[in-house]
Homo-oligomer: A and B are copies of this chain.
Amino acid sequence: MITERFLRHRAATLDNDEQALLAASVTDTCTLTTRRIVVAAGEQQSQSLLLVEGFLCRYIDDRRGIRQLVALHVPGDFVDLHSFPLGGLDHHVSTLTAAKVAAVPHAALAKICEDRPALAKKLWYATLLDAAIHRAWLFRLGRLDAFGRIAHFLCETNARLQAVGLSDGQRFAFGLTQSDLAEICGITSVHVNRVLRGMREEQIMTFRSGQVEIHDSERLAHRGEFDPSYLYLDEGVLAAIPAFNRSDRCLRLDQDHLLVEASA
């Protein structure tokens, strides 16, 4: 089924019925070539896309036309579900590799929201997961150096692909270029190249010819300060994912962290 990879997550999983309903709402399936804009910023949308195969991204241009990627999408993701309540997008959507997508008209989503509040809430949930990933990306850009950013990104991608059965935890197909990586991590492609060499030399991982191979996932997670809890994965999947140990962190929860003082 076309929706089989969608939303396999801790707090929200589609039951068969819901999966079928969503799959039945698909009007069209398209094959897309690599490096093509799929949805342009600002244009009113009347459908949303479910990614079936390949990798898409969302990005914002700067003054010079250099892109900042704000999201990467893996198979199973509802790429621009947010265009349903929002109307148009504040960013572009583009393919990074060849890809296959399925289109769901907003009219069908509207009907789901009317009739199936439980499913509607799961769709909402799916967009909140995207937002949680945005926040992890903010952490990555704001607090990690180039090495850490790439490490963190690879840990995340590995975990997400693992969740949909497209990585075994050590190795996955990933046809992005070093420049793509640069636009994700907010650094130059030259520097990406040097960091990648460093990772190879330290036997942490290899990124070559469309394959990522992780040799030391412990160290990768540690260098990327990667804590996968923001992905809200099922316990089962989560257990298989090496993580930066949360208890290493100084949480500064010493003070009482609850609502205080007068109420009215």
Contacts and interface: CB of A to CB of B under 8 A. Distances in A.
Interface of A: 11-12, 28-33, 36-42, 58, 60-66, 68-71, 82, 85-87, 90-92, 101, 103, 113-114, 117, 120-122, 124-125, 127-128, 130-132, 134-139, 141-144, 183, 185-186, 225, 229-230, 232, 244, 248-253, 255, 257-264
A141 to B, nearest CB: 4
Nearest to A60: B139
> SS class of chain A's interface: helix, strand, loop or mixed?
mixed
Given A117-B117, A127-B128, A85 B135 contact: no
A32 B261 contact: yes
Contacts of A130: 131
Given A29-B264, A62-B139, A135-B91, A37 B257 contact: yes
A86 B11 contact: yes
Say how many copies of this protein the assembly contains.
2
B85 A250 contact: no
B252 A82 contact: no
B138 A137 contact: yes
A39 to B, nearest CB: 8
